[in-house]
Chains A and B, each alone.
Chain A
Amino acid sequence: MNMSWSPLWLSLKLASITTLLLFLLSIPLVYIIYFYGRNTRPFLKAIVSLPLVLPPTVLGYYLLLLLRPEGWLGQLGLQWFNTRLVFSFPGLVIGSIVFSLPFMVNPILSALENLPDTYREAAYTLGKSRWNTLIYVLLPNIKASLWVGAVMTFAHTIGEFGVILMIGGSIPDRTRVASIAIYNEVEMLNYANANGYAAILLLFSFVVLILVYVYQHQRPQGII
């Protein structure tokens, strides 16, 4: 067995960067949906949750259209960063952010909606803006859900396959992440290598889920 560690390392790097960027992105997104989406909330939620139900190939196909050099994002990448987005690591990050969006945003949003309205109202009567209320009052009281969102995003990105195949292909050391590597090894009948990657991913996913549930078990969501 001559298994390369590069796909595992690439998966880890992709998941870490995706989780960090998506976390930073989801806060303003949640702000908009929670405070301004009074009438449009079902519509916005449906958009956020689309990646949950779409076949990864459909999502991958549209991302491909966007990211290719003639696409809207692809041109932006070429002009501003001189980077080709399709079949490249930055492209994978963009794809993963879109694909994992509901895994980060939904837990945060539903935790916010479950908080008593009076927290928000009390902060308003104390002269605090919406943004201030979100950062200092609401988010600190849903820390558990922030963690769950981050961990699920991370794990989900590690397990991503279809979207990556569509927009990243399987370029060694650049876009061949662990899940793709398994597919590759099986195609070449290297079952020993495939077995190695598969076992590591299985173990990883199981440990992540145990951590999430242990955390939820110790800190029930309903603090108040």
Chain B
Amino acid sequence: MDITLQKKLRGGKDFFQLDISFQAPAGGILAIMGPSGAGKTSILKMIAGLLQPDHGRIEINEQRWFDSNQRINIRPQHRSIGYVFQEYALFPNMSVRDNLQYALAPRQSPGLIDEVLELMHIQNLQQQKPIALSGGQQQRVALARAIVRRPQILLLDEPFAALDKSMRTKLQNDLIAIHRQYQTTTLLVSHDPTEIARMADEVIVLSNGAVIQQGKPSSVLASGTNTLLEGEVLSIDQNTLTIVSKNSISTLQVTDASSQYEIGDSISISSQHYQIKKKSSELKSASDHRR
């Protein structure tokens, strides 16, 4: 898989230029990590054909799906992809089995449905409607629906972000098992260093629309530029910052916190340093501090 993409994207109020190029190991799992708003989902959508890059080239198994120079742009329907959306996107009007049945191409055998249902441990749910399922169950169905077509590549957009830790671990194991069986080249968007370390063969790190690192998870994650925590300052008490992030509240001990930060500042912390951005851009743009 050989990808070069350029696209002007919207990040909050401003636009930024996404300009990346990477290869993914055939049959392997490539993780994409980076702060939210870095364009990770847009990359998956461009590969799927749901979003058109301004310039670039997408080549999968020697088939060219997109090439701005040669004006090639294969429609999403004709790209062999399995896409698991962040919010699952199961069809509420169809039962679990019907969701998989709908996904199947006309020439494919219905036996594939049972095979995948069994692989994902959801045979007992096949007559249920998605609304009756828990988050973890919905995620299994979404994965099952994505792989039942036997796509050439699997695109996973933070598939486990909304699940609790034990459910996440179980599903990660299932996904590893599936990957072992089908050897589908997989792109995994993830925030979670543990997940990436467990699952990915390779990882790329995005920042400001560019790939700043690519390599084995062990070396990239250890290098310390990856983000551990992102959030907003909730309260300040002398040397203690309370930060609210996506799912949790954390406190940090920072020398003389009350003079450096204000409530509402957004903050991102990596293993080596943390950055702070003011709410309004006319104040300080961005400054680095050593911890």
Contact surface of A with B, Cβ cutoff 8 Å: 116, 118-119, 121-129, 136-137, 140-141, 223-224
Q: Is the CB of A136 within 8 A of B102?
A: yes
- Rank and list the top 8 A-B pairs by shortest CB-CB distance, nearest first: A118-B89, A140-B93, A122-B89, A124-B76, A125-B83, A126-B103, A118-B85, A127-B77
Query: Separation in Å of the A127 CB from the closest CB of chain B?
Result: 5
B64-89 residues with Cβ-Cβ distance < 8 A to A are 75-79, 81-83, 85, 87, 89
Contacting pair B93 A141 (CB below 8 A): yes
Given A125-B76, A136-B102, the answer on whether A141 and B92 have CB atoms closer than 8 Å is yes
Is B91 in contact with chain A by the CB < 8 A criterion?
A: yes
Q: Contacts of B78 on A, CB cut-off 8 Å?
A: 127
Binary contact track B192-231/A, C-beta < 8 Å → 1, others 0: 0000000000000000000000000000000000000000
Chain A nearest Cβ from B81, distance in angstroms: 5
Decide: B87 and A125 in contact? CB cutoff 8 A.
Answer: no
Q: What is the predominant secondary structure among interface residues of chain A facing chain B?
A: helix
Interface positions of B (Cβ within 8 A of A):
45, 48-50, 75-79, 81-83, 85, 87, 89, 91-93, 102-103, 105, 131, 145, 149
Tell me whether A127 and B48 are in contact in the complex, defined as CB-CB below 8 angstroms, given that A118-B87, A118-B89, A223-B131 are known contacts.
no
Complex: A96 Cα to B289 Cα, angstroms: 71
Q: Are A116 and B131 in contact (CB under 8 A)?
A: no
Bound Cα distance from A223 to B85, whole angstroms: 18
- Is B82 a contact partner of A125 (Cβ separation < 8 A)? yes
Residue among B76, B93, B102, B105 with the highest chain A CB neighbour number at 10 A: B93
Query: Contact partner of A121 among B82, B89, B102, B149, CB < 8 A?
Result: B89
Interface pair B92/A125, CB less than 8 Å apart: no
Assess whether B89 is in contact with A116, with CB atoms less than 8 Å apart: yes
* A124 proximity list for chain B (CB < 8 A): 48-50, 75-77
Task: Determine the distance from Cα of A116 to Cα of B81 in the docked complex, in whole angstroms.
Answer: 20
Q: Given A127-B77, A128-B77, A223-B131 in contact, is the A121-B91 Cβ separation under 8 Å?
A: no
| Other-chain residue from A119, A127, A129, A136 in contact with B89 (beta carbon distance below 8 A) | A119
**From residue B130, how far is it (CB to closest CB) to chain A in Å?**
8
Q: What's the minimum C-beta distance from B67 to chain A, rounded to whole angstroms?
A: 20
* B131 partner residues in chain A, CB cutoff 8 A: 223-224
Nearest CB in chain A: distance from B104 CB, A? 9
Known: A136-B102, A223-B131, A224-B131. A125 touches B91 (CB 8 A): no
A161 to B131, CA, bound (A): 45
Assess the B77–A141 pair: CB atoms within 8 A. Answer: no
The complex places the Cα of A136 from the Cα of B99 at a distance, in Å, of 11
Contacts of B76 in A (CB 8 A): 121, 124-125
Which listed residue (B49, B93, B149) contacts A126, Cβ 8 A?
A: B149
